[in-house]
Amino acid sequence: MIALDGVPADDRGLLLGDGLFETLLAVDGVLADLDAHLDRLAAGCVTLGLPPPNRAEAERLMRQALADVATPRVAVRLTLTAGSGGRGLDRPAEPTPRLFATAAASAAPQGPARLALSAVRRNEGSPASRLKTLAYLDNVLARAQARGKGADEAVMLNNRGEVACGAAANIFWVRAGRLFTPALDCGALAGVMRARVIAAASGLGVETAQVAAGPPDLIGAEAVFLTNSLIGVRGVAALDATDFGPNALVERLAKAL
């Protein structure tokens, strides 16, 4: 793997979004869920047909980036591109991926989030919908729509009109005391924190149903919350005109994590 000294103009990640990334939370220098993130990156490489990065080198680059940020709570991003290539879509016969890490201060979220339904759809038929690829423009546009409505995060539907995810988060909801989240084949990312929530809920004796559901299921829920590696479990105060109050199960899960 090549550590970043500058991305050349023929980098496939830059030109085509050909690559993957992981974002980790570091608190007081500790990289949270490091193995789970590197496992997911390696699995994504298999799907994309790229050689996986050396784990020791990946960790070294992340710690090097982390050392440059003098705050206790840091977002560390590990980026893997397919490396340099010629003009067009075809990769070189033996691609040489480019690996680099960056870090920035990351404040904890303050209070519950407000959500807005986005018109930007998630393509559940694409393998990329279940990976953290470098092609994140749909997510950028969805978040921009949400911000334009005064919300913190978007709710993205897939092409079948089913709830898939937030622009940068997995979505859960509570109904009749049960926990629900979109199934992966709805176009949801297999989030590291998503997996931890499902495991924590099981430890509390609560089964998580992974389902195909529409916006009415969210609107009719007792509570909705978001998860990702930087926010952990973040409750939702509203989805467009529908308000949600505090919920004991959400609070228990946040405490458990």
Domains of the chain by residue range:
2-105, 113-256
Question: Domain 113-256 is classified in which CATH homologous superfamily?
Answer: D-amino Acid Aminotransferase, subunit A, domain 2 (3.20.10.10)
pLDDT of residue 7: 84
Determine the Cα–Cα distance for residues 69 and 157; give it in Å rounded to an integer. 36
Name the band, by pLDDT with cuts 50, 70 and 90, for residue 3.
very low
Of 4-18, 181-195, 241-255, least confident by mean pLDDT is: 4-18
204 has pLDDT over 80: yes
For CA atoms 84, 90, 93, 97, the dihedral sign is positive
Query: Has residue 86 got a pLDDT over 90?
Result: no
Q: Tell me: pLDDT of 91 over 80.
A: yes
Res 105 pLDDT > 80: yes
Q: Output the average pLDDT for the chain.
A: 95
Does position 1 have pLDDT exceeding 80, yes or no? no
Average pLDDT in the 61-79 region? 97
CA-to-CA distance for 98 and 69, rounded, in angstroms? Answer: 23
Q: Is the pLDDT of residue 5 over 60?
A: no
- The answer, yes or no, to whether residue 4 has pLDDT greater than 80, is no
Is the pTM above the cut of 0.75? yes
Q: Of 100-104, 126-130, 156-160, where does mean pLDDT reach its minimum?
A: 126-130
* Amino acid 55: pLDDT: 98
Determine whether 150 is exposed, middle or buried from the number of CB atoms within 10 Å of its CB (0-12, 13-18, 19+).
Answer: exposed
Q: Is the pLDDT of residue 97 over 90?
A: yes
For 2-105, give the CATH class. alpha beta
Residues 244 and 257: their CA atoms lie apart, in Å, by 22
Say which range, 1-10, 12-21, 54-63, has the weakest mean pLDDT: 1-10
DSSP codes, the chain:
-EE-S---TTBHHHHH--EEEEEEEEETTEETTHHHHHHHHHHHHHHHT-PPPPHHHHHHHHHHHHTT--SSEEEEEEEEE--B--SSSPPPSS---EEEEEEEE-PPP-S-EEEEEEEEEE-TTSGGGGS-BS--HHHHHHHHHHHHTT-SEEEEEETTS-EEEESSSEEEEEETTEEEEE-GGGT----HHHHHHHHHHHHTT-PEEEE---HHHHHT-SEEEEEETTTEEEEEEEETTEE----HHHHHHHHH-
Asked whether 101 and 76 are in contact (CB, 8 A), the reply is yes
- Sequence-distant (6+) residues with CB within 8 A of 94 are none
Percent of the chain predicted with pLDDT > 70: 98
Give me the pLDDT at residue 6, please.
73
pLDDT of residue 226: 98
CA distance 80 to 21: 6
